Amino acid sequence: MNIWLVDLEAVETRYTKQWKTEFPKLLKAHGHTVRIVNGGDTPQATTPGAFLNFGGTNVYKSNQLMQIAEAFCKGEVNEGDYFLYTDAWNPTVIQLKYMAELLGINITIGGLWHAGSYDPADFLGRLIGDKPWVRNAERSMYECFNHNFFASDFHINMFFESFPELDKSKAIRTGWPFEYMDNVLTMYKGMTKKNTILFPHRVAPEKQLPIFQDLKESLPQYNFVVCQERPLTKNEYHNLLGEAKLVFSANLQETLGISWYEGALVGALPMVPDRLSYTEMALDKFKYPSEWTESMESYKKHKKQVMDKIVDYMENYEDYLVSLNKQVYKLNGDYFGCGNLLKVLK
């Protein structure tokens, strides 16, 4: 199949950098011809607390639209071509659909949904909410895609709470294309563990950093590290993961969660709340009751329980390694390999 890969801009410190090279390799290895629609240079400074640069992402997508439109003008888009968006929240899919239908070229379109206004904890949900323009834009984008890919059942359910009228048969649960990650992190496995606890999330309100900071003050025997407070290279970040015993989350938003998977691959135990995507993804050994960190107020009520749980993980680290191996196996098989997506492309 001829695939036009409309990619997501690469930020050096995030997995999007690796997707630039690794996702095309994966598609080619499965016999597909891949043409990458690259939007050019990317601002490396994301908008504070965000996944992207809010201005730069629109420059990037506009450049992608120019390439797609020029390809139609040159007659390079053919019947049966597949356009795969690694970020479904890309308004250019509407213009792609416009060109294909008016020119009578039968293409198929798929997109990977990461977030949107339908998620009250996401930037769009917090700052824009359910304004008609954004909800109708998301409806339109969903309808443009023949295949709407989501990485967790939690994400699918959340999406359809806002859009119950949309065709659910167009939603497909598939893991994300992280087949390469285990090999990438091989050199960081087996590192000498330190009494380090990581906060590897974005510094954003929905990640509840103040809880982590309070724990740091209350448990001075451990080294609490907020990764985004340091100008870490990818290698430095992976070294921290390799040395850490624990990755902590009190997140109020998580439709997949990359960092706790990366940590688990190199022997860092996850400690995650029993909510969001964690509920379906994490083994019971690594989940704590959701109410413990549903808010700062709730955390204060349950602070001793949270602290006791951390101490147990840290002081009895070796006892959890068999369960950690089972956790990695589950994540590899169900969430960090895009098998269902690849089946659709056959």
Sheet containing 147-150: order of strands: 33-37, 2-6, 82-85, 108-112, 147-150, 171-173
At residue 45, the pLDDT reads: 53
User: What does the pLDDT read at residue 50?
Assistant: 46
Instruction: Quote the distance between the C-alpha of residue 113 and its chain's center.
Output: 9
Beta-bridge partners for 171: 148
- Contact criterion met (CB below 8 Å) for 254 and 270: no
Backbone φ and ψ for 110, nearest 5 degrees, come out as: -130, 150
Q: What are the structural domains, with CATH classification, of the chain?
A: 2-180+338-345 (3.40.50.2000), 182-334 (3.40.50.2000)
Q: How do the pLDDT tens digits run along the chain, 346 residues long?
A: 999 999 998 877 677 888 999 999 999 999 999 999 999 876 545 555 445 577 888 999 999 999 999 999 999 999 999 999 999 999 999 999 999 999 999 999 999 999 999 999 888 998 999 999 999 999 999 999 999 999 999 999 999 999 999 999 999 999 999 999 999 999 999 999 999 999 999 998 999 999 999 999 999 999 999 999 999 988 999 999 999 999 999 999 999 999 999 999 999 999 999 999 999 999 999 999 999 999 999 999 999 999 999 999 999 999 999 999 999 999 999 999 999 999 999 8
Cα 25 to chain centroid distance, Å, stands at: 19
Phi/psi of residue 78, nearest 5 degrees: -120, 160
pTM, two decimal places: 0.92
Report pLDDT for 17.
Answer: 82
Q: What is the pLDDT of residue 15?
A: 79
Structure tokens at 3: 């695939």
